[in-house]
Amino acid sequence: MIQCLRRSLKMIGKEQEIHKIFKNCPDNLEFKKLRKRIIRLTKETIQDYKMIEDGGKWLVCLSGGKDSFTLLAALIELKWRGLFPLDFLAFNLDQGQPNFPKTILPQFLESMDIPFRVEYQDTYSVVKSKIPTHKTYCSLCSRLRRGHLYRIARQEGCTAIVLGHHQDDILETFFMNLFHGGKLSSMPPKLLNDEGDLFVLRPLAKVSERDCARFSDCLQFPIIPCDLCGSQEGLERQKIKTMLEQWEKDFPGRKQIMYKALSNSKPSHLLDKSLFDFTNLVRN
């Protein structure tokens, strides 16, 4: 499988066009390296966490941001190369945000011949009515959105909800939970919902935000900003992002080391009694 992937990656750039989504591909070595890296890391994550199951179908969630566009393009490339043998449906939830450009995603997906569904649910008004302006909207917004995603996935016969969260999102969530929740947890690449009937998958778990941004910019995707969250200043997540960016600037490679640490835990060297039996630990 690894040799097959390597051969496939070497082919990138040799075809005139494998899919219309790549029509704006720059013909330079820097972009080819970027594209290879994103495809390789996405494939590794899918393989490492055993995301592909027989008879599976993915609901690929598109927000219109750089991350979800990168996810969509990566899955299209992997599917074209025979490395992703599943059907998927692109889905966008229009949450009723003011001035949301409703036509951009449908027009883009139609022009790319990508199967999709768009549904309108005014979660924006609910969030605004429930959360004071000085509080963070993200938590309630995410819960409301996730409920609709589960419902749509079941209606469409999907077995997994697929999100565009990347490596930086995972690190930021870890520190958010550490600093504000008092727990060691983050966004796992693969999660089973409480009902046990749907997976939540994050194939971009190893891909950096910087690479997603460069990739989307090169391919000229029609990026849609999140005005709901973006309208708030001083978000705690933004403070965490700034902190991590400063660490990376001062110590290049620091974020990659921290990400690696999330898959290299030692329960015997932590304090959680539910993960390690300290009580029955005895001397020889």
Digit-coded pLDDT (tens) for 90-100: 999 887 777 78
Q: Smallest Cα–Cα separation from 90: which of 229, 221, 211, 186?
A: 221
**Rounded average pLDDT over 214-221:** 96
Range of the domain at 208: 20-234
User: Length of the chain, please?
Assistant: 284
Q: By the 8 A CB rule, do 7 and 36 touch?
A: no
CA pair distance 50, 149, nearest whole angstrom = 22
Q: Tell me, what's the pLDDT at 147?
A: 86
Structural domains of the chain, count: 1
Q: By the 8 A CB rule, do 82 and 110 touch?
A: no
Q: How far is residue 44 CA from its own chain's centroid?
A: 14
How many helices, marked H, and strands, marked E, lie in the chain? Answer: 11, 6
Question: In angstroms, how far is the first alpha carbon of the chain from the final one?
Answer: 45
**Dihedral, CA of residue 139, residue 141, residue 143 and residue 145, to nearest 10:** -150
Q: Please check whether residue 271 lies inside any domain of the structure.
A: no
Q: How confident is the model at residue 137 (pLDDT cuts 50, 70, 90)?
A: low
pLDDT digits (tens, 9 = 90+) for 169-208: 999 999 999 998 999 999 999 999 999 999 999 999 999 9
**Rounded average pLDDT over 238-260:** 95
Q: Please check whether residue 6 lies inside any domain of the structure.
A: no
Q: Please check whether residue 52 lies inside any domain of the structure.
A: yes
Quote the pTM value: 0.87
Buried b (16+ CB within 10 A) or exposed e, 191-222: beeeeeebbbbbbbbbbbbebbbbbbebbebe
CA pair distance 27, 45, nearest whole angstrom = 27
| Lookup: tokens for 65 | 């941001």
The yes-or-no verdict on residue 230 having pLDDT over 60 is no
CA pair distance 88, 57, nearest whole angstrom = 5
Q: Please check whether residue 66 lies inside any domain of the structure.
A: yes
pLDDT digits (tens, 9 = 90+) for 44-57: 999 999 999 999 99
The yes-or-no verdict on residue 14 having pLDDT over 50 is no
Q: Smallest Cα–Cα separation from 88: which of 50, 107, 62?
A: 62
Q: Please check whether residue 113 lies inside any domain of the structure.
A: yes
Show the 3-state SS of 150-216. HHHHHHCCCCEEECCCCHHHHHHHHHHHHHHHCCCCCCCCEEECCCCCCEEECCCCCCCHHHHHHHH
Write the CATH number for 202.
Answer: 3.40.50.620
| Lookup: tokens for 223 | 């990026």
Q: Smallest Cα–Cα separation from 86: which of 3, 206, 203, 216?
A: 203
DSSP 119: E
Among all chains, which residue has been given the structure tokens 């003011």? Answer: 98
Q: If you average pLDDT over every residue of the chain, what do you get?
A: 88
Share of the chain above pLDDT 90, in %: 71
Which residues, 6 or more positions from 267, have their beta carbon under 8 angstroms from its beta carbon?
Answer: 275, 276
